[in-house]
Amino acid sequence: WTRTGIDLLAHIRGYAASGIRPFLLSGSYMVPPVFLTQSTGHDIVLINEVIGIGEIAINDHRSTQPTAHELARLASEARIAGMVKGVSGTMNVHIGDGKQGLDLLHEVIDTTDIPIGQFLPTHINRSERIFEAGLAWAKRGGRIDFTTCTTESFIAEGEIPAGQAVARALAAGIPPEQITMSSDAGASLPAFDDAGRLVRIDTGKPSSLIQAVRDAVAHGVAFDQAITTITRHVADAYGIPGGRIAVGERADLLLIDDALQIDTILANGHAIMVQKKWLIPE
């Protein structure tokens, strides 16, 4: 209720002014979603930075309890708009710790012609129950996303650290290209008591992404597989260029030392951090 899409768009255009290439999802937790123009589809087509919709909340007491029909309509709108624009129009779906798991997404896939790749359910590591539901979704061919901003209180409540979740998903036979990680940076990380009352709010940090890669490596995941969960696989999920080092791609690069610490950052070929020192204002 207090953050607007206009504010977010203005903020990420500030990053663009520093040479960083930002992207934006139209929408919100709620259904009908919040948008900037006439609809989420119009946002995708008309606003350069918008590449999809989300994160739409399901299976959560904080969601607006959307139906399978409502999800299907929104996903179809985003898909068609994405086809016009040349992106996937992927729907990022917030998965809470409610009773239904990913059942609503399965219903959409079972009752419509929308391909399973149109959805990217996130927070799949929030509990063992949701993790198992996520594996079942992935075994149908869907992508799953693990959240890296795990706090000690979340772990105490049953959340699986993202790096460990990646290792377990790979061990369960999930193809690497179906696994992504995201930070939830800047988002609120609420903690509730047994009665469902809000008792504390933390904030997600972007630095948790690279830490989750380190954790995945510590759990036996090869570095080249771990790093693609936050690079190539994410770009592929949203149908955007990038996420890989190749001729013709933008030179958006992180140089990482032997301890897997970020040493140097290039944005479109221009250094914005060198030897852990920022060359632009933090």
Q: Residue 150's pLDDT is what?
A: 77
Quick check: 83 pLDDT over 80? yes
The residues assigned a catalytic role are: 184
Full residue range of the structural domain in which residue 269 is found: 251-282
pTM exceeding the 0.85 threshold for the entire prediction: yes
Number of domains the chain is built from:
2
pLDDT confidence of 103, banded at 50, 70, 90? Answer: very high
Q: Are residues 269 and 129 in the same domain?
A: no
Token reading at 117: 């790749």
Mean pLDDT of the chain: 92
Assess whether 255 and 236 both reside in one domain: no
Residues 98, 185: one domain? yes
Residue 197 sits in the same domain as residue 282: no
pLDDT score for 282 = 66
> How far is 141 from 128, CA to CA, in rounded Å?
20
198 and 278 inside one domain: no
Structure confidence at residue 184 (pLDDT): 86
| d(C-alpha 95, C-alpha 114), whole Å | 19
The residue type found at 20 is: I
What gap in Å lies between CA 198 and CA 191, rounded to an integer? Answer: 6
Strand arrangement, sheet containing 50-58:
24-26, 50-58, 90-95, 119-122
Indicate if the pLDDT at residue 149 is higher than 60.
Answer: yes
Please give the pLDDT value at position 137. Answer: 98
**Across residues 30-58, what is the average pLDDT?**
95
Judgement on whether residues 58 and 95 belong to the same structural domain of the protein: yes
Query: Higher model confidence: residue 220 or residue 28?
Result: 220
Among 10-24, 42-56, 197-211, top mean pLDDT goes to 42-56
Q: What is the pLDDT of residue 142?
A: 98
Say what the pLDDT of residue 157 is: 78
Quick one: 208 and 256 in the same domain? no
What was the pLDDT predicted at 243?
92
Q: What confidence score (pLDDT) does residue 114 get? A: 97
Segment among 113-122, 131-140, 254-263 with least mean pLDDT: 254-263
Please report which residue ranges of the chain form alpha helices under DSSP H. Answer: 5-17, 40-46, 68-85, 103-111, 128-139, 152-156, 162-171, 208-218, 223-228, 232-238
pLDDT of residue 188: 67
Could you tell me which residue, 158 or 103, shows the higher pLDDT?
A: 103
- Residue 255 and residue 207 share a domain: no
- Do residue 180 and residue 266 come from a single domain? no
Shared domain for 207 and 135, answered yes or no, is yes
Query: What tokens appear for 188 in the block?
Result: 């609120």
Q: Does 1 score more than 60 pLDDT?
A: no
pLDDT in tens, 231-279: 999 999 999 998 999 999 999 999 999 999 999 999 999 999 999 999 9
pLDDT tops 90 at residue 135:
yes
- Please provide residue 80's backbone torsions phi and psi, each rounded to the nearest 5 degrees: -65, -45
